[in-house]
A and B are shown apart, each in its own frame.
Chain A
Amino acid sequence: MTVAEWLNEHPGHILVVQEDAMLEETLALFKRYPDAQDIYVNDVKGCVVGHISKLRIASIVLAEHSQTHSHRQLIEQVASGNARELMGRHFPTARLDEALDDVIHRQLEHQLHDMAVLDAEGRLAGTISLTCLLQSFI
């Protein structure tokens, strides 16, 4: 089975924000889709340039509940930025024509809940969710 075939059978929500989206916008998206673990960041051409995990957002929004902060976390708390500043640029992705078995192997290796699937132009085509995989294989 290819990744494209899997996505046809298991379409899910794709959460995307633009690079200049502020923290509140990203937070609102997580609020609307509470099961989502990651939000992807698009540039003006619609290509994915980064991703923001729920944990990253939580570490900023819930910072006041933490007893200790590094200087970096302190400044982030006072002057949090837009999606471009919050996102991570390096994250594993899959292609549509890849075999699903290979992608699952990579997903487990990187301990990812959701694996982003990109089309030939670098646009987000969907995500392979570990929950979906488990539901279908059990």
Chain B
Amino acid sequence: MESELSIPLLIGMLLVLGLLAALQVSRLGLPRIVGYLLIGILFSPQILGDRIGIDLNGWSETLTTMALGIIAYIIGGSMTVQQLRRMGKTIFTCAIGESLGAVVLVVLSIWWLAPVFGYQNPAPLALALGAIAATTAPAATVAVIHQFRARGELTTTLLGVVAIDDAMGIIAFSIILSILVGEGFGSGFGNIVYEIGGAVVLGAGSAVLLSLYGRHIHQGGLRLPMIIGTILLVLGIADYIHVSPLLAGMALGFFCRMYMRSSAERMFAPIEYFEELVFAMFFTLAGAHFDLAVFSENIPMVVIYLVARMAGKMAGASVGATLGSAPTNTRRWLGMALVPQAGIAVGLALSISQIPQLQEIKGVIINTIIASTILYELLGPFAVKYSLQRAGELGERRRKS
């Protein structure tokens, strides 16, 4: 059916109704993403989508790429080399451990178990879902820490880990994606190095230009279009020369922060306001891709992903904490506190579904990530609270304002 709704009208409806629903569900004590996803699902093909002629193909992919580019820039610019050094060994080993643990266990579990449930070619599915498994949801974690005035060794490590593991998730995602899109790890090794290295060089080079302009533009109103323009330019060039757009965006943010040193805050603070808009768009768009038939056929995949990611986070964090000589409480409870998963995972799932080689399994990927995100967001805060409680770091609960 030909689309009867114009694209601006559809995006407007998704965002406005999504925001209203998010505000309503947050009054009930549920995460906002439930509201966004519910509105998205309302516009999915089986409910309203087919009736009012919604067509997501052709434009939602571009929008997702642009939005993910902005998020990658923000994440890249969130840290400096000096800060990473000061964070210390423990946070680093924990972040690497839990990210790798989740990726490896999700890949292996799906590769091994998927054929049992009738999936003929499990490798692309295992790699695609594994690529998404590393990211977490800092907002959910911070909310629990704030609500219960948590303080202590585990709390500090947890904050550090959730702050940097999305960056590790994007790096892991980019590497796995180039394996998936290329001709396998062995034959396409040069291609992988080109995609990753090229993206870093492109981001670093563009950051020189952005920071040069940034130093000379003092009007706040001109800075935002300049930043967004440069991000889009980098994404476009990355796509044109076939290097990873996400890594290029992240490198742009990282090197811009490095070149501009303490003046860099003004290159990031204005664009951080876009985060909620970007996540609202990811969730509503992901909801609109929801397919009840695909979901019910793939419940085993959701269960495997949920369990494997959680186990991977727990085991990986424990190994990382041991290597980083962390205290016993951190070794025991950090992994469980890293269970929440949200916006970035959904954005990555939407972007992975644009790849021509993965068209057959895109429904499974998006629906698995939607279902697992809802469950992780509902259960995640309890897991964070339980971990901090067992570590003896919870304080007095704040009264709700």
Within 8 A of A (CB), among B201-228: 218
Within 8 A of B (CB), among A67-120: 67-72, 74-79, 81, 84-90
In the complex, how many residues of chain A place their beta carbon closer than 8 angstroms to a beta carbon of chain B? Answer: 24
CB atoms of A67 and B163 under 8 A apart: no
Which residues in A have their C-beta under 8 angstroms from that of B83? 75-76, 79, 81, 85
Least CB distance, A72 to chain B, in whole angstroms:
4
User: How many interface contacts (CB-CB < 8 Å) are there between A and B?
Assistant: 82
Given contacts A70-B74, A85-B82, A88-B265, contact A78 B163 (CB under 8 A): yes
Which residues in A have their C-beta under 8 angstroms from that of B86? 79, 81
* Closest chain B residue to A83, Cβ basis: B262
Cα distance, A86 to B218, chains bound together (Å)? 19
1/0 contact string of B72-103 vs chain A (CB within 8 Å): 00110111101110110001000000000000
Given contacts A75-B163, A78-B159, A81-B82, contact A68 B262 (CB under 8 A): no
Given contacts A67-B143, A85-B80, contact A74 B159 (CB under 8 A): yes
Whether A131 is near chain B, meaning CB under 8 Å from some CB there, is no
Cα distance, A77 to B142, chains bound together (Å)? 12
CB atoms of B218 and A90 under 8 A apart: yes
Cα distance, A71 to B138, chains bound together (Å)? 8
Q: Which one of A66, A76, A78 has the greatest number of beta carbons of chain B within 10 Å?
A: A78
Whether B268 is near chain A, meaning CB under 8 Å from some CB there, is yes
CB atoms of B78 and A74 under 8 A apart: yes
Which residues in A have their C-beta under 8 angstroms from that of B143? 67-68
CB atoms of B91 and A66 under 8 A apart: no
Which residues in B have their C-beta under 8 angstroms from that of A79? 83-84, 86-87, 160
Which residues in A have their C-beta under 8 angstroms from that of B389? none
Least CB distance, A67 to chain B, in whole angstroms:
5
Whether A64 is near chain B, meaning CB under 8 Å from some CB there, is yes
* Closest chain B residue to A69, Cβ basis: B142
* Closest chain A residue to B150, Cβ basis: A64
Least CB distance, A56 to chain B, in whole angstroms:
9
Q: CB < 8 Å: which of A72, A74, A81 contacts B77?
A: A72
Whether A126 is near chain B, meaning CB under 8 Å from some CB there, is no
11 A-B contacts, Cβ less than 8 Å apart?
A64-B145, A66-B146, A67-B142, A70-B74, A72-B74, A72-B78, A72-B268, A72-B272, A85-B261, A88-B265, A89-B263
- B residues at A contact (CB < 8 Å): 74-75, 77-80, 82-84, 86-87, 91, 138-139, 142-143, 145-146, 149, 151, 156, 159-160, 162-164, 166, 218, 261-263, 265-266, 268, 272, 275
* Given A74-B163, A77-B159, 11 new contacts (CB under 8 A): A64-B145, A66-B146, A68-B139, A69-B138, A69-B142, A70-B268, A71-B138, A71-B163, A74-B142, A75-B160, A79-B160
Q: Which 5 residue pairs across A and B have the least CB separation, nearest first?
A: A71-B78, A74-B163, A72-B78, A79-B86, A79-B83
